[in-house]
Structure 1
Amino acid sequence: MDIKDLQRENIKTLRPYSTARDEFKGQASVFLDANENSFGSPLPANYNRYPDPLQLDLKEAISKIKGVPIENTFLGNGSDEAIDLLFRAFCNPGKDNVIILPPTYGMYEVSANINDVEVRKVNLLPNFQLDLEKIAETIDANTKIIFICSPNNPTGNSLNRTDIETILANFKGLVVIDEAYINFAKQKTFIQELTEYVNLVVLQTFSKAWGLAALRLGMAFSSRPVIDILNKVKPPYNINQATQDLALAALENIQQVNEWIKITVAERERLSAELAKIPMVKKVYPSDANFILAEIANAVDVYNKLVDHGVIVRDRSKVTLCEGCLRITIGTASENDQLIDLLRAMN
């Protein structure tokens, strides 16, 4: 498969914007090329200079942890930017289509709609696994991307690895595996398969396990041709210097992050067990993420009562295959206790 054949014709001939810092080689001490404020910035740290457009220092630090070469790494303003750029680079508006697998992360469809790309939906099976036969029937010559979220949001389960591998081996477009919650799962990341599948794109994020949701920093790992195209179409300085600096500092605290992951997983199991004891809770679905999907009697009423007490969960009761369900993020032990006490009091 030649990835270049998948990209839009206008992207093949696109001349990307050349930043001022792209146009010289070597070292410099006086920068009079980018119309920046040469006096500094009114902050303790100087942010008057444009950041590294390719975030090489940050990518090098990520590479040491993920084991993925810099040239196979793309950083975006959240994973949402990588999702949007995949549409803009590979999907012709009004012609091409993508496949999503409801219930799933909502931004795939939103980005498709923004980019005028047809969305074809193949619902997960009742056990929240892939319907391989229906997916195969839905693919046509204009299907460019299949989005797979694993662990899946909002169901929390990991999708069968062999099923995903079947799609990777047989689909001639991009297969995007969104691993936003992989840190909380027993299943191994698909990053290790990057050398096997040129059409594989793995999305990860700093927003969940790393606790950096406010920074808006997402990662995409793929073959060199895909990463080169994403770098070609992205805004020149899509990751600001403050985000790069803070992320580099966070990467030095991986032991703290790993400890939080262990606590979250333990609390997930405890909360699941406690919820299952409450009569109004009809079912607690197994989870590999940092949240639980639970079917609850009168889910909307329960949601509203929780809001009245200042406890906010996510109402997923109208989502396909999640009827009557609430999605509950794993909080601290005390937050989880507060939720349990409120639910018990509602019975």
Structure 2
Amino acid sequence: MSVKILTVVGARPQFIKAAAVSRAIRETDGLAEVMIHTGQHFDANMSDLFFEELSIPKPKHHLDINGGGHGDMTGRMLMAIEPILLAEKPDWVVVYGDTNSTLAGSLAAAKLHIPVAHVEAGLRSFNRRMPEELNRIVTDHLSTLHFCPTATAIANLAAEGVTEGVHHVGDVMYDATMFALEKAETGSGILAELQLEPGQYALATVHRAENTDDPERLRDVVKFLLEQARGRTVVLPLHPRTRHAAARLGVSLDGLRIIEPVGYLDMAKLLHHATEVYTDSGGLQKEAYFHRVPCVTLRDETEWTETVASGWNRLWKGPVKSVRRDINEYGTGRAAHDVVRLLGSCAPR
């Protein structure tokens, strides 16, 4: 009998991580995958295109749930996921990262006594004002298997009393980056389209609620980006949430090179040839390191503390480290295969 894995995704970083694990599942005998797409990211440039570019199988279940407050969105997802789990009867529910989709998937499964496997477990920013932090904590305490990208993540779980089913597998995002880089270099024409020269621009992203929902904070972030844009072009693929917030609050983005959200291959190429990255995204902080591009995190803390300790990343109001070193914890590009091996060997019978 094959082991049935039900994967819950809903947002861009999850598509990227799931792509690596889904490829490993397809390469492994005795495993089968069913995917739920909650619809949390519904823009075609933030959803459908990622599935096409990363060769992710079309989700069997698309819930088309987005918008509304955190409780409203998570509640609707929970209601929609539960009957699917009852019908599909999976051996595992696999969730990724820290979104409302992550929380809804893990909570629905745990209430039905279906074991949960959390990819990217153990991350902590220690800022509980962030919804993502609460999602991570709850998901980790509902999970049976915890796939940790770093030793720090394992230590964070241990500090909360979570020691069973904890595995340091490395980072599946690194697997995805290595897979996409060659395709991006040959398949993306984004630099020519935007008339950008390699090494002559910086790349920025802003989307987290802590930056977009606070008027003073958003103004400070934009002011910082405009200061960076005095010496070079700063390209900002504009997240819908940020676009709406800036328009609502009257925050001008003039002086930045605003573009529409782009697919993963275009983003990989933009990132690979940038001089620096400014972002509030956890995933992009790591991707910047994978491409060996210095990063400035537009937050007051980061869950990826090793990127700061290694000198490749800094908090926007923090000190600059002049010495950079490699990070050895993210693995060799085989993290997804380790995840799949453990899902197969630990599956309940």
- Normalised by the length of structure 2, the TM-score is 0.35
Greater fraction helix = 2
- Normalised by the length of structure 1, the TM-score is 0.35
Which is greater in Rg?
1
